């Protein structure tokens, strides 16, 4: 049993327990319960009898609400993921691995917004003011009127933000903030939750947009920002594969916009550069296309994105063949392999299979099925696809190739980048100058790849 006033908070899901146990009863995580002072929830809420009737005003769904105003920061990739700019009075949580570039991105967003007249502050709990300033100067942002502070005390931050009017404030990071009203250590669930609650309240009250940085760590002492996701209006994740300069900002939750948008950036010496045409980035345009590669015409958010899918089918040295996937779902790979085997007679059961999405992009669309199947068949049959061919289409378990959303947009983007043929569902209508190799069944597509039957 915990000492008086103390309880055990799960560092993974934030549930509070009065007893310690090896496994969190709420989320099932192991070794995640940590004793925290002041974590115990207050006793059951006592409802007192109301002295007078309270009035609840109902409104209809058909009434009009003006669209929320937006602060366009001028970093277009960021603004698009927000749904057209940051909404005043909202709170945004930006999560990502340490070192992925969150501080760099948000310094650039704040500087760009400040140049357009927004009153911006950047409060760092991790770096000294000199460090942030030096980085801003190196990135050519020194002229932007961003007010910097290095502070971790929540009380000092709240007082500071109340004393001066701001439009946009970046808090880097939520895990370093601590409130003296709670005894738990900085970075604990209790502290992270308290800091977030106070900052969100201030944002709503003052019409101030607050951007919170949260580190997502593997199991460890620091509470994951998961526990505050429900408190904020939007949750974005900033992702990047190690070894690639590309960074992708992805919306996971957004009360003011769509969540399937992505923003693409490239990390360089001068910070993050916006990538307006991601297709060019994820394609290997130089040289011949080797056997095992297929260009997938995908859609990310509102934009078409072409990306190369690479497969390698190799003889297996072990009894159990290997299956490795990077950037795609392992379950879908298993499904595509099963359909290739049972509907097309292409047996890969005793061979190692590797599948990789180029450039560090992660694809979740079912429309990539046919491209993955084409890459696998191309490698297995040692037949390269033509250089100027894109592939898309969903595969059903029966071996049919199904239509997917926004086929026009996919084909137009491919035509714009010089592709002249497309392997996809019958019924898609390619723009002029492009030819569709319609495949009603997966077996048709695989036969075409095997025979090298192209224009």
Nearer to ligand TYD, 16 or 216 (CB): 216
254 binds, among ligand TYD, Mg ion, none (CB under 5 to 8 A by kind): none
Structure tokens at 243: 């070894």
Residue 24 to residue 9: CA distance in whole angstroms? 9
Q: Using an 8 Å Cβ cutoff, are 17 and 7 in contact?
A: yes
Cis peptide preceding 173, ω within 30 of 0? yes
Min dist CB 235 to ligand TYD, Å, is 16
| Binding-site ranges for ligand TYD (CB under 6 A) | 96, 98-104, 135, 139, 267, 269-271
Closer CB to Mg ion, residue 103 or residue 378? 103
Asked whether the CA dihedral 403, 407, 410, 416 is positive or negative, the reply is positive
| Distance in Å, CB of 124 to ligand TYD, minimum | 10
- Helix then strand then coil, % of the chain, to nearest 5: 25, 25, 45
Rank residues 87 and 94 by Cβ distance to ligand TYD and give the closer one.
94
Cis peptide before 281 (omega within 30 of 0): no
Q: Which is nearer to ligand TYD, 102 or 332 (CB)?
A: 102
Q: What residues from 216 to 275 belong to the interface with Mg ion (CB under 5 A)?
A: none
Q: CA–CA separation, 282 vs 358, rounded Å?
A: 6
139 binds, among ligand TYD, Mg ion, none (CB under 5 to 8 A by kind): ligand TYD
Q: At closest approach, how far in Å is the CB of 95 from ligand TYD?
A: 10
Choose from Mg ion, ligand TYD, none: what does 363 bind? Cβ within 5-8 Å by kind: none
Q: What does the CA dihedral 158, 163, 166, 172 come to, rounded to 10 degrees?
A: -30
- Count of residues binding Mg ion (CB under 5 A)? 1
Residues in the chain: 455
Nearest residue (CB) to ligand TYD, 238 versus 392: 238
Between residue 94 and residue 133, which ones bind Mg ion under the rule CB under 5 A? 103
Could you tell me if 256 and 44 are in contact, meaning their C-beta atoms sit under 8 angstroms apart? no
Shortest Å, Cβ 134 to ligand TYD: 10
> Could you tell which of Mg ion, ligand TYD, none binds residue 135, using a CB distance below 5 to 8 A set by kind?
ligand TYD
Backbone phi and psi for residue 213, each to the nearest 5 degrees, phi listed first: -95, 135
- Quick one: 135 or 412, whose CB is closer to ligand TYD? 135
- Least Å distance, CB 73 to ligand TYD, is 17
Q: Would you tell me which residues interact with Mg ion (CB under 5 A)?
A: 103
């Amino acid at each position: 049993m915990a000492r008086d006033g103390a309880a055990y908070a799960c560092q993974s899901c934030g549930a509070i327990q009065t007893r310690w146990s090896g496994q969190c009863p709420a989320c099932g995580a192991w070794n995640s319960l940590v004793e925290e002072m002041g974590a115990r929830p207050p006793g059951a809420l006592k409802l007192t009898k109301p002295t007078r009737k309270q009035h609840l005003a109902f409104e209809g769904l058909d009434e009009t609400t003006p669209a929320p105003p937006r602060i366009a920061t001028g970093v277009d990739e960021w603004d698009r993921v927000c749904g057209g700019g940051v909404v005043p009075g909202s709170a945004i949580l930006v999560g990502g691995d340490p070192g992925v570039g969150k501080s760099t991105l948000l310094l650039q967003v704040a500087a760009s917004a400040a140049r357009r007249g927004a009153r911006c502050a950047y409060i760092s709990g991790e770096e000294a003011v000199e460090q942030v300033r030096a980085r801003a100067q190196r990135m050519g942002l020194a002229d932007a009127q961003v007010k910097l502070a290095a502070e971790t005390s929540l009380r000092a931050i709240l007082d500071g933000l109340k004393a001066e009017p701001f439009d946009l404030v970046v808090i880097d990071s939520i895990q370093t903030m601590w409130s003296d009203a709670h005894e738990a250590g900085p970075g604990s669930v209790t502290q992270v939750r308290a800091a977030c609650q106070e900052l969100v309240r201030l944002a709503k009250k003052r019409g101030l947009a607050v951007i919170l940085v949260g580190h997502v760590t593997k199991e460890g002492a620091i509470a994951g920002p998961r526990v505050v996701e429900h408190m904020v209006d939007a949750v974005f994740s900033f992702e990047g594969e190690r070894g690639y300069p590309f960074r992708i900002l992805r919306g996971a939750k957004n009360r003011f916009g769509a969540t399937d948008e992505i923003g693409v950036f490239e990390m360089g010496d001068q910070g993050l550069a916006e990538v307006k045409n991601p297709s060019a980035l994820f394609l290997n345009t130089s040289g011949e296309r080797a056997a095992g590669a297929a260009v997938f015409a995908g859609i990310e958010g509102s934009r078409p994105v072409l990306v190369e899918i690479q497969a390698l089918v190799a003889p297996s040295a072990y009894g159990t063949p290997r299956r490795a996937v990077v950037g795609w779902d392992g379950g879908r790979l298993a499904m595509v392999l099963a359909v290739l085997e049972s509907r097309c007679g292409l047996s890969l059961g005793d061979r190692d299979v590797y599948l990789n999405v180029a450039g560090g992009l992660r694809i979740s669309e079912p429309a990539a099925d046919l491209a993955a199947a084409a890459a696998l068949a191309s490698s297995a049959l040692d037949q390269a696809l033509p250089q100027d061919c894109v592939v898309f289409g969903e595969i059903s378990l029966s071996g049919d190739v199904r239509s997917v959303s926004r086929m026009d947009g996919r084909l137009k983007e491919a035509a714009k980048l010089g592709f002249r043929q497309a392997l996809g569902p019958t019924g898609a209508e390619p723009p002029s100058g492009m030819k569709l190799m319609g495949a009603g069944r997966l077996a048709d597509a695989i036969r075409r790849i095997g025979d090298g039957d192209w224009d």
